Structure 1
């Protein structure tokens, strides 16, 4: 990587890690808030849902703003907004103020992925390597957020913990202001990948129509099915692990009775995902994104099905499967991120990633409702088979992309740095 790549990598890695640092720390506060505000689980769940909803739904407008104002400004706004939201959270004295703080966080957090990935795709020459390190940073945040929050809550009041969690975001914002890099270094000189003029409604419709008429239309559906798989598995796997006989049969030494082995297996899964992110990112330099997506979806479908017999086995088999699952679950992410960069024009990259994360976090969240319905009325085996079906669909769609979308959609041409190959 050259100095520009390293500067962008550091800036976006800080942003990506902190988005997930805040995201995964919020559920840790739930038990405390139930007692603090004397509300029911249903009401508090609705309040937390109000915070998470903009995280996915705000990705599209965030992508539009990234194309208009430039990705660096948007990432800085994200860091400031998330940190400010946790400061508001720290002084919340009512459920209404709590809801306001969480909604503010969700709006700010929705900015990151379209803006940060647009910056990498237009500013970085060694894109695969930066995607790898960027993904690792996200997994570090995913693992550290709940760990740090839970540990601090043992010793400190939750308001002080919320304030402490905001501090890294403030430092990252200060660092970002001083960071210098060329956000268009990886695109052709005649491609306007910088901040654009105000995007009218007609231009938005035209640009969106152009994107979805080509290869990106298929990529959007592929990402949505990856999101359905990802969100469904990560939402319900902890609960499923807690209920396994292998966990109940595990006898812990004296003094460790309060530790839940299932939680540590789940955190371990997320840690192994760092390796998956790195390997997946590096492989994007060697494999066409469609080929990588197709192969990884096959593996993910097989792993979901494998959970059916393995959950009836011993602890060792469960730990191994969770480790393998964590690796491949996160290895696929650099491939769809790279697919967007490969098949979309540079000057609509923010809009492209906005739609991408609308599919990943917005539409993908539908699997929370689907998974809850299946687990409530059917067996755990049925749940894993439904999740596997999402990966099967992703495999088929990725294969279509791999064999050449030009045969099916006239406008579907490979785009590299804003030009047709």
Structure 2
């Protein structure tokens, strides 16, 4: 079906807003970890466990949501996903207990996890040259990471953390309204698609057992662990370890995501020009240097912002790792293979939430983020070994 230029622009704006909304609804929680823990008289470890559950649910929905989109149509699934994200955000904000908060976070993760594959497929059916459209769409996430923590903490300073969290939900609600009026529905591409047949165990194991795919998945797990540890606890780390106020910690989080959004295209360009590994290794190393500066540096304001900036520049591995994965699948298995690997590395990497919280409670922040530095250095080491020994992974 032909699409007018105006229709394409509306679809792209709607999808980018939706990606902003679903990511913002999740990242809105991170500036308020200490306030939430105090409210429910619990530890950072348990809050980290809840956030791990949210991200794990998000990860698990990556694979099946694509099948749902094929069967029922992308627009319909996008609307359901955003509606669930809005409801999840509201339930998180009004939770009267830790148990309700945990369930609400799972609802939020479920809705957010249903969005990305259908949203990407929605654009794929409307654009012949998808690179630019996909890049703009992806930028919605880091832009939410820039805006939502800053606005949320500003709102919370007057109205409390519960209203601050609703800032993220408001973004998802705006995206839902835009999708309702701006995006036309299209017939599903495969109304007879069956989830059970796509989740065949033999197919899953065959794809994941390829050495190059397995190696790329390990890199994805490392990167996602670091990303989760940053998204969930970075503002708390800055408050407790460096004495920043809640507002300044939220600002630092915003600066980090601004740098991610700005540097991401350059990391992708490096991957296209010199190969994915030439982008992954430097970004891992820069991120490790940033965290090491914050942990072991002199503690001055200059060192603080240098470390924060390095982390923002370094957390741009995603495109390169995903390009590494994509090139290993044939056309007829690329969607299934990519969705599967994405589910695996997001799911395993979500352990970064609970692990960081537990390590911070038991041993302090230097150990919690020291593990992050160690994992990143391990990732750089295996990339160098693979290249130097010509292992072909």
Q: What is residue 419 of structure 1 aligned with on the other side?
A: none
Written as runs of structure 1 = structure 2, the 5 A alignment for 1:3-402 is 3=5, 9-27=12-30, 39-42=40-43, 45=47, 50-66=53-69, 68-69=71-72, 71-87=74-90, 98-117=101-120, 126-156=129-159, 166-177=169-180, 178-179=182-183, 197-201=193-197, 204-214=200-210, 215-244=212-241, 247=243, 261-309=248-296, 311-329=297-315, 331-376=316-361, 382-398=367-383
Deviations 1:333-363 (A, max 9, x none): 2222333443334554554344344344321
Checking the alignment, whether the CA contact within 8 Å between 1:207 and 1:348 is kept in structure 2 is no
Task: Give ranges in structure 2 of 5+ residues lacking alignment.
Answer: none
Partner Cα distance (1:290, 1:7) in 2: 35
Q: 1:203 to 1:110 in 2, by over 3 A?
A: closer
Q: Distance in 1 between matches of 2:167 and 2:326?
A: 36
- Measure how far apart 1:315 and its partner are: 0.9
Structure number with larger C-alpha Rg:
1
Note the aligned Cα RMSD (angstroms): 4.2
**TM-aligned CA distance change 1:319 to 1:203, over 3 Å:** closer
Secondary structure of the corresponding residue to residue 110 of structure 1: helix
Whether the 8 Å CA contact 1:67–1:351 is kept in 2: the answer is no
> What is the CA distance between 1:132 and its match in structure 2?
3.5
SS at match of 1:41: coil
CA distance in 2, matches of 1:404, 1:65: 43
Q: Which moved more, 1:267-276 or 1:87-96?
A: 87-96
The unaligned stretches of length 5 or more in structure 1 are 185-192, 249-257, 410-421
Contact 1:114 1:351 in 2 (8 A): no
What is the rounded CA distance, in whole Å, between the counterparts of 2:284 and 2:164 in structure 1? 39
Question: What residue is the counterpart of 1:253 in the other structure?
Answer: none
Q: TM-score with structure 1 length normalisation? A: 0.72
* CA gap 1:101/1:243 in 2 versus in 1, 3 angstroms: closer
Inter-CA distance 53–341: structure 2 relative to 1 (3 Å threshold): closer
Give the CA deviation at 1:371. 3.4
Mapped partners of 1:179, 1:100: distance in 2? 31
Deviation sequence 1:238-289 (CA, Å, 0-9, x none): 34433456x58xxxxxxxxx66544433332222222122333444543433
Contact 1:58 1:358 in 2 (8 A): yes
Pick closer, same or farther for the CA change 1:156–1:389 going to 2, 3 Å: closer
Partners of 1:274 and 1:125 lie apart in 2 by 24
Relative to its length, the structure with more helix (as a share) is 2
| Aligned length, in residue pairs | 385
TM-score, normalisation: structure 2 = 0.77
CA deviation vs aligned residue, 1:368-398 (integer Å, no higher than 9, x gap)? 3443454455575555543223223333555
